[in-house]
Chain A
Amino acid sequence: MSEPGDDGDNRARSIALLRMMERIRAFEKQAILAAERDKLVLGAIHPSIGQEACAAGIMQAVRRDDILLSTHRGHGHTLAKGADPLAMFRELLGREGGCCGGKGGSMHIADFNVGMLGANGVVGANITIGAGAAHGLKLIGSDRIAVDIFGDGAVNRGPFLEGLNWAAVYALPVLFVCEDNQWSATTRTRTVTAGEGAGARAAAMGLPVTTVDGNNVEEVAQAADQMVARIRAGNGPEFLHAITYRQTGHTSFDQAAYRPEGEAERHKREDDPIMRQRSYLQEMGVSSAELETIHAEAQAEMAALLKEAAATPFPPDDTAFTDVQDIGSPAKEAF
């Protein structure tokens, strides 16, 4: 979506990156409130607070009709891909009009209208699906590409090897992204990962690897732009290793007491992607008032949408039996 332009364009783009990160954070803060305070979100949610630069930076580089596959920690990616936040809130609350009709919830959020083909409850499973989507796109001669995002924990699952090898062998149009927040649930990923880790493994299969500071949204965006351009030109898959940090617990309910004292606080204080982009924009001459407005607008937008979602009814009971299968459908005969 982005074109190299003059300073005015750059400024607008940098502001847009901040705005998207603010919206993601506001969405997730509301979602956490809805889970903990209001008991409206019943299932687990996995916030990406502290990781918003990856979502904002990568998704601005792709088109609306490009494909995205994501993980259990996928709200940010989905929103940045262009999904409707009201439909997302409704989904988190299990309501009618949710993007999956209330059947999926946070972990299976998807919006096919914007090419978002699903978050996934199984770590690593989206890697082969994303490779396959790219395979299908190539087969039908499309110029669309796929973006396949997973965590650092996923590189220890088999589909990582099978999916990356597959994409490389068939030179598929797919950008693999390891959004490395350094934690696999309650385990520090490097303590259970042999060798040099994600990037080295991808490089061993011949994928060009770019490593970025995943909390610097400008750096993520720039890298993504270049990689997406090469991939769309038909040069085969690439691998983006974005180093970031999960500021919250694994789920909204997890207090993350297993982390060394002060680690999360230090990241929040010194390495927060939103704070860093605000400083960057201030250096560019954007006023504090303007930054505050962006923040306040995001908050107001998401608070209002959550309210609206909470006023929506639950889906009709009989939809428990729809969209399973045509042949042998439980809507006709479930036993």
Chain B
Amino acid sequence: MAEKMTYVEASREALREAMQSDETVWCLGEDLGRGSVFGQYLGLQEEFGPDRVVDTPISEAAIMGAALGAAMVGTRPVVEMRFSDFALCATDELVNQIAKARFMFGGQSRAAMVIRKPTGMWRSSAAQHSQSLESWYTHIPGLVVVCPATPQDNYSLMKAAIAADDPVVYFEHKNIWGMEGEVNRAHTVEIGKAAIRRAGADVTIVSWSDTANLAEQAGARLAEEGISAEVIDLRSLWPWDKEAVTASVARTGRLIVAHESVRAGGFGGEVAATIAEAVPGARIRRLGAPRSLIAYAPNLEDQMRVTVDMIAQAAREMTND
């Protein structure tokens, strides 16, 4: 029953199905009628009309704030922020309003919505169109944080996110819109459950978003060298699958956490600290971007990347003794 789909098609199909089965699901954002920047909405306005696929003004605060008001009267908005960088224009609306609406009003309200934030490095997009800020949102009680890395997960997790009664911050990686893969529409994924992308015994490599794809490649390369790496794609950062990671590191005794975002203050620190407490004696390394800015020139941009080589090299070093 699997079909070939790209990453961008997968979440679009999930959204289309959700809109077909639930009239209260609608989307709002800039340029949606033309598919938005990456084609995530292509054809949806034709199918569902301009009232449910709403072309908005360039008003990120109003897009986010309006989604909350609309959620509080019983609709289920899907918010498009275009680039995760622009979502910072709507920080109050997300962090002070949406994340707190249920608790602060004593459970009278819910803020069921999906907030889509295309993330990460993509061509030469420089400092304001390339960031990976997912760790910020893990710090905000009330929010769910999801980072799919494959077409199947982008399909299944988008469905789960729309069905959730919580606000879900949904990071799609801009570098893999065209990534092809098998998608089984019947396959469901529970938010909070990691995927073991590769089983192994010597070292555990934990990652998410596009870096999980790099980690899987590193795992394959290491296998040729006789190093058995277990590659875990967290898929969501809040909640995150501590059980899967703990169980794996308890077996391998070694953990590498790799992510595209700046290492300092990145979510890798949280994973590392949690596992250090849970698995005494585990050896742990973190890979993330240096704490500098993402530049336009390709060679400068590359200085910020965590690569397959770097992940593999870290595993070699850790298993070498």
A contacts, CB < 8 Å to B = 67, 69, 98-104, 108, 110-112, 117-118, 120-122, 125, 127-137, 139-140, 142, 146, 158-159, 162-163, 165-166, 169-170, 322-328, 330, 333
Binds A, one of B95-103, B174-182, B220-228: B95-103
- Of A112, A120, A146, which is within 8 A of B109 by CB? A112
Q: How far is the CA of A108 from the CA of B104 in the complex (A)?
A: 7
CB distance from B30 to the nearest CB of A (A): 13
- Write the nearest CB–CB distance from B166 to chain A, whole angstroms: 4
Closest to B62 in A: A162
Q: For residues 24 through 52 of chain B, which have their beta carbon under 8 Å from a beta carbon of chain A? A: 24, 26, 51-52
A132 to B54, CA, bound (A): 12
How many whole Å from A115's CB to the nearest CB in chain B?
A: 9
Is B107's CB within 8 Å of the partner chain A?
yes
Measured in the bound complex, the distance between the Cα atoms of B106 and A324 in whole Å is: 9
In the complex, are the beta carbons of A330 and B141 less than 8 A apart? yes
Interface segment out of the listed B12-20, B67-75, B122-130: B67-75
A135 adjacent to B108 (CB under 8 Å): no
Is A100's CB under 8 angstroms from B104's CB? yes
The residue that B69 contacts in the complex, of A102, A136, A162, A322, with Cβ under 8 A, is: A136
B104 touches A133 (CB 8 A): no
Contacts A104-B106, A118-B101, A139-B52 given; does A131 touch B65 at CB 8 Å:
yes
Complex contact A128–B105 (CB within 8 A): no
Known: A125-B97, A323-B103. A162 touches B144 (CB 8 A): no
Which listed residue, B70, B102, B105, touches A132 by the CB 8 Å rule? B70
Known: A136-B75, A327-B144. A104 touches B69 (CB 8 A): no
| Residues in B whose Cβ lies below 8 Å from that of A117 | 69, 72-73, 105, 109
Residues on the B chain within 8 Å of A324, using CB: 102-103, 141-142
Q: Answer yes or no: B192 CB below 8 A from chain A CBs.
A: yes
> CA–CA, A121 to B70, complex, Å?
20
Given contact pairs A139-B75, A140-B73, A326 touches B165 in the complex (Cβ within 8 A)? yes
Cβ contact within 8 Å between B93 and A125: yes
> B5 at interface (Cβ–Cβ under 8 A)?
no
Q: How far is the CA of A118 from the CA of B105 in the complex (A)?
A: 7
- Chain B residues whose CB sits within 8 angstroms of the CB of A135 once the complex forms: 66, 69-70
How far is B165's CA from A101's CA once the two chains are assembled, in angstroms?
A: 20
Least Cβ–Cβ distance between A206 and chain B, in angstroms: 13
Complex CA gap A101/B104 in Å reads: 9
Q: Is B239 an interface residue when CB atoms closer than 8 A count as contact?
A: yes
Tally of B interface residues using CB under 8 Å: 48
- Pick the contact of B105 from A112, A170, A328 — CB < 8 Å? A112
B101 touches A166 (CB 8 A): no
- Asked if A137 and B73 make an inter-chain contact with CB atoms under 8 angstroms apart, the answer reads yes
- Asked if A132 meets B144 with Cβ closer than 8 Å, knowing A139-B26, A326-B165, A327-B191, the reply is no
Q: Are B92 and A131 in contact (CB under 8 A)?
A: no
Q: Which of B216-236 contact A (CB under 8 A)?
A: none
Asked if A159 meets B62 with Cβ closer than 8 Å, knowing A110-B109, A122-B97, A140-B74, the reply is yes
In the assembled complex, which residues on chain A have CB atoms less than 8 Å from the CB atom of B61?
Answer: 128, 158-159, 162
Give CA–CA (A69, B64) in the complex, Å.
16
Can you name 14 A-B pairs with beta carbons within 8 Å? A99-B108, A102-B106, A103-B104, A111-B108, A118-B104, A121-B96, A131-B66, A132-B66, A132-B67, A163-B65, A165-B62, A325-B142, A325-B166, A328-B239
Contact among A101, A132, A146 for B107, CB-based, below 8 A: A101
Is there a chain A Cβ closer than 8 Å to B164's Cβ?
yes
For B52, the chain A residues whose CB sits under 8 A away are 139
- B143: CB under 8 A from chain A? yes
Shortest Cβ distance from A241 into chain B, in angstroms?
21
Q: Is the C-beta of B171 less than 8 angstroms from some C-beta in chain A?
A: no
Chain A residue contacts of B166, Cβ below 8 A: 325-328
Of all chain B residues, the one with the shortest Cβ separation from A163 is B62
CB pair B142–A104 under 8 Å, yes or no, is no
Is A166's CB under 8 angstroms from B71's CB? no
Q: Looking across the interface, which residue of chain A has its beta carbon closest to that of B111?
A: A325
Sorted nearest first, the 6 A-B pairs with minimum C-beta distance are A132-B69, A128-B65, A132-B66, A136-B70, A101-B106, A328-B239
Contact A139 to B51, CB < 8 A, known contacts A102-B106, A327-B192: yes
Do A100 and B105 have beta carbons less than 8 Å apart?
yes
Most A CB atoms within 10 A — which of B26, B54, B92, B105? B105
Residues of B81-97 contacting chain A, CB below 8 A: 92-93, 96-97
Question: Which residues on A sit within 8 Å (CB–CB) of B72?
Answer: 112, 117, 129, 133, 136
- Asked whether B265 is an interface residue with its Cβ less than 8 Å from the other chain, the reply is no
Q: Is the CB of B144 within 8 A of A328?
A: yes
Other 4 A-B pairs with CB < 8 A, given A110-B108, A112-B108, A162-B62: A135-B70, A139-B70, A324-B141, A327-B166
Q: How far is the CA of A165 from the CA of B97 in the complex (A)?
A: 20
A136 touches B74 (CB 8 A): yes
Query: Are B69 and A165 in contact (CB-based, < 8 A)?
Result: no
Query: How far, in whole Å, are A323 and B239 apart by their CA atoms in the complex?
Result: 16
Residues of chain A within 8 A of B71, CB atoms compared: 132, 136
Given contacts A129-B69, A131-B69, A134-B69, contact A325 B62 (CB under 8 A): no
B238 adjacent to chain A (CB < 8 Å): yes
Residues of chain A contacted by B105 (CB below 8 angstroms): 100, 103-104, 108, 110, 112, 117-118
Inter-chain contact B141/A129, CB cutoff 8 Å: no
Q: Does B188 sit within 8 A of A, measured CB to CB?
A: no
The answer to the question of B281 belonging to the interface, with a C-beta cut-off of 8 Å to chain A, is no
Provide the residues of chain B in CB contact with A98, threshold 8 Å: 106
CA A102 – CA B74 in complex, angstroms?
24
Chain B residues with CB under 8 Å of A133's CB are 69-70, 72-73
